[in-house]
Amino acid sequence: MSKEIHTVRDTPVTLIHHAANGSHQYPPGSIAALVECLSSGAKFIEIDIIPLADGSFALLHDQHLAAATSGKGLASQMSRSQVSSLRYKVDGRISDEPVGFLEDAIDLLRQHPRTLRLQLDLKPFSLLTESTIQNLLQIINPVLDRIQVTSVADWVLRLLAAHAPRLLLGFDPLLYLDIVEEKPRPENIPPFRVGAYGLLDDHPLSAYQWGPPAEYFAARAEALAAQAPGGCEWFIRAEVLQIALDAGFNWIDFLHQQGSKVDAWTIDADQPGRIQLTQRLIEHGIDELTTNTPAALAQRLNTEIEF
């Protein structure tokens, strides 16, 4: 998963998700992929991190190690020494790339001052202890002004905001509101219920058609805004933003009034209808876009993009 951020009111910017697939030579999220992205001069890069049992942070997206590595079991139950012997998988095949750790990524960032921001998408697969939070902050402290920690876990973001008020944060409401997809949803990942307005939503507001869809979205946006730290950036699935707009509610404008930027994910140039959706989101004030195809999207949009 790679990702582009594209600001529309000032200077467009680019973010590569999963440490920039780039030329797709390296496993997403690996140190090798990160090196390629940094060396290319990318200014905005994202990688996923998972806290391990000993408080370390591995560069992994999936809780189940077998999904993307040569290992088995749950990442949150493993130690750094156990995970360090594993290799990433690419298309189901074990690669030569070892699983990386957050310290390695931070060391690389310090060597590449042209990169303005490294986004760490923190996966909440275990409760974060005080020592784990302090370890995270200690690791990123040398480049704190160039780090953004994002998560679907609003409770984690609130803890980080209390411990490090200067740290840039980002919230994805994916666990609370999402679209219904054809592929099976991962086990035990909320929301579990399809609500009355056609979205996955376990909130009582979705139990019945209490009012028009626009009022539903406005109420859900207000409730979710109360959960996230004030002023943090929001990362919202593009389809959810589109459905809200179709219903008559501009979630982007609502968040702007709260002092927050908004990123829409994931916009890929080779997917049907994505260019039209992108243009619509830009017209409604989206701050940033997420894509696996930043160069192609920039070309299709015929607009200024900063890599």
Banded model confidence at residue 172, pLDDT cuts 50, 70, 90: very high
Q: What is the pLDDT of residues 102-152, one digit of tens each?
A: 999 999 999 999 999 999 999 988 888 899 999 999 999 999 999 999 999
3-state secondary structure of 272: coil
Q: How many CB atoms lie within 10 A of CB 144?
A: 12
Which residues is 122 bridged to in the sheet?
49
CA-to-CA distance for 230 and 169, rounded, in angstroms?
10
Q: Which domain holds residue 157?
A: 15-173+262-301
Q: What is the pLDDT of residues 181-224, one digit of tens each?
A: 988 888 889 999 999 999 999 999 999 999 999 999 999 999 99
Nearest to 56 by CA among 106, 2, 116, 16: 106
Q: Following CA atoms 182, 186, 190, 196 in sequence, which dihedral angle do they give, to the nearest 10 degrees?
A: 20
- Residue 230 domain-assigned? no
- Residue 242 domain-assigned? no
Q: Following CA atoms 69, 17, 116, 166 in sequence, which dihedral angle do they give, to the nearest 10 degrees?
A: -80
What is the arithmetic mean of pLDDT over 41-52?
90
- Residue 128 domain-assigned? yes
- What pLDDT shows up at residue 5? 43
- Residue 22 domain-assigned? yes
Distances, alpha carbon 6 to alpha carbons 106, 117, 142, 152, in Å: 24, 14, 27, 21
CA-to-CA distance for 91 and 68, rounded, in angstroms?
9
Banded model confidence at residue 290, pLDDT cuts 50, 70, 90: confident
- Residue 32 domain-assigned? yes
CA-to-CA distance for 92 and 287, rounded, in angstroms?
35
- Residue 199 domain-assigned? no
- Residue 163 domain-assigned? yes
CA-to-CA distance for 36 and 22, rounded, in angstroms?
7
The domain that holds 148 is classified in CATH as: 3.20.20.190
Which residues is 194 bridged to in the sheet?
200
Q: Between 304 and 82, where is the model more confident?
A: 82
Structural domain tally of the chain? 1
- Residue 256 domain-assigned? no
